[in-house]
Structure 1
Amino acid sequence: MSHVSKGASFIVGSGPGGIGKTTTMRALLGFAPGNLPFLIALPEEVSGISNVPSCVISHEVSEHRVPTYLWGQDLRDFFALPKQGHMLVSNMHANHIDEVHSQIVATNDVPEDQFRAVNLFVFIWIEGGDPSVRRIKDSTSQRFISEVFYSDGTARHESIFTPERGLSAHAPRDIAYEKLCRTFLEEGLNGLSPNIQEVRSRFLDWENNIVT
């Protein structure tokens, strides 16, 4: 939350479908800065997105022929948007940063500097999950963040979190702001339903109070 609420671009990844990468993406979207309007990036329309800084959302990065997925030139146009001040948000089928890099940079020819402009790659997994399965049909087992990779926008992505080691010592942090975020999550959302719109509304009120 502390990074997303400051405008960090992020992509959520998981190998099999059904783990919850889209759900996780939408949950994190609730904490995007209030001054950035939401825009949906659609094939053949990405290059026409205005220069007004926005939170630009891709339903998925994928070569599957789904009308809302980005690949090829559309994906290259999507990754060029941070140069105009846009925040990028998406999800994709991948379990590790190497898979992500292969799909985005090696296969789609996205320049390395534009790839690094996505600050966070968040990977999720499921307890007892089988990585060889294409789609998970288990709706009860716990999902968890298996690893987080970070870039400041210029440097190579580095792993900053795993469940085994926790948050690494070199992870960029603003302790005072993190404390505010934690208080909001623990108290500001206490008793609130997980409805995304309600969470978003509560966050925007909190953000406005923090700023003022």
Structure 2
Amino acid sequence: MSDRVIEVVKRSNQRGGRMLSLVDLIEANTLTSAQAAWLTERLENGASFLVGAVPGGAGKTAVMGALITMLPADETVHVTLSGSSGWRQAGPGACLVAYEISPASYEGYIWGEELRTFMQRGLEGARLVANLHADDPVRARRQLVDDNAVAPAAFDSFELFIPITVGAASTGYSRVIEQIALRDTEGWSSIERHPELSPRAREIAAFLDDCAASGIRRIEAVRERWLQR
């Protein structure tokens, strides 16, 4: 049976190879198990999120795709394709995925008027998911609000900003999420590598640990087990 979420994640792949799951990212030390569980609980509660990094090839799409894989089974997902009307008309409860916020002419990339339309859907209750070339919420806001005339209130649709730090490693490069930016009524705060977990998040962490122990890593298999739990 076809799974729309898996289709959306695979379609975002521009670099070849298989798309990574949260289990893969934990094993690569990009995320800790606690971070992955904390983020997944936020997704269960409807959070919109941005993944950011300045250099290309940092793994923005991989992290975004791994998180999309954990969306609820009943959530309608739309990609911001230029010729599609579905995402433009999406309402509360839908998830809109922009493969990148950028002026580049690639599938699912948005800028200018299309970006403003995307952000308006967030104000109207849709979940927004995207990535961009920025390493903190201030620079991300500058791209949207200053460069694209997005309303400041619309930018606040994003509850999470997930920056990836790229560094040197013995195997070449490391890609690590050192902290997650969380927005609330007081502004942005930092969630570190080992956040305190709620009982629900501890259940999610146990699920991810069990997947790893069982050799379940591919996004299709992780999602199938996630939806069966």
**Secondary structure in 1 aligned to 2:102?**
coil
> Which residue identity lines up with residue 190 of structure 2 in the other structure?
I
CA distance in 1, matches of 2:222, 2:168: 30
Matches within 5 A, 1:66-81: 66-81=106-121
Gaps of 5+ in 2: 1-39
**Secondary structure in 2 aligned to 1:141?**
strand
The answer (yes or no) to whether the contact 1:44–1:74 under 8 Å persists in 2 is: no
**Secondary structure in 1 aligned to 2:207?**
helix
2:178 equivalent among 146, 150, 153: 146
Aligned-pair RMSD on alpha carbons? 2.4
Counterpart in the other structure of 1:119: 159
> Which residue identity lines up with residue 63 of structure 1 in the other structure?
P
Counterpart in the other structure of 2:189: 159
- 2:168 maps to 1:128: yes
The answer (yes or no) to whether the contact 1:6–1:32 under 8 Å persists in 2 is: no
- 2:227 maps to 1:197: no
Counterpart in the other structure of 1:10: 49
How far the C-alpha of 1:65 sits from its partner, in A, is: 2.6
Over 3 Å counting, the alpha-carbon distance change for 1:52 and 1:149 in structure 2 is closer
How far the C-alpha of 1:202 sits from its partner, in A, is: 1.3
**Higher RCO by CA contacts (8 Å cutoff, separation 6 or greater):** 2
Over 3 Å counting, the alpha-carbon distance change for 1:203 and 1:139 in structure 2 is farther
The answer (yes or no) to whether the contact 1:30–1:196 under 8 Å persists in 2 is: yes
Instruction: Point out the more displaced range, 59-68 or 17-26.
Output: 59-68
How far the C-alpha of 1:82 sits from its partner, in A, is: 2.3
CA distance in 2, matches of 1:189, 1:6: 24
Gaps of 5+ in 1: 130-137, 168-172, 207-212
Over 3 Å counting, the alpha-carbon distance change for 1:101 and 1:52 in structure 2 is closer
> Which residue identity lines up with residue 147 of structure 1 in the other structure?
Q
How does the TM-score come out when normalised to structure 2? 0.74
CA distance in 1, matches of 2:187, 2:64: 19
Counterpart in the other structure of 1:89: 129
CA distance in 2, matches of 1:40, 1:67: 9
How far the C-alpha of 1:3 sits from its partner, in A, is: 0.6
How far the C-alpha of 1:194 sits from its partner, in A, is: 2.4
How far the C-alpha of 1:156 sits from its partner, in A, is: 5.7
Over 3 Å counting, the alpha-carbon distance change for 1:90 and 1:156 in structure 2 is farther
**Secondary structure in 1 aligned to 2:110?**
coil
Identity of aligned residues (%): 27
Q: Which has the higher helix share?
A: 2
1:183 equivalent among 206, 218, 222: 206
How far the C-alpha of 1:117 sits from its partner, in A, is: 1.1
How does the TM-score come out when normalised to structure 1? 0.79
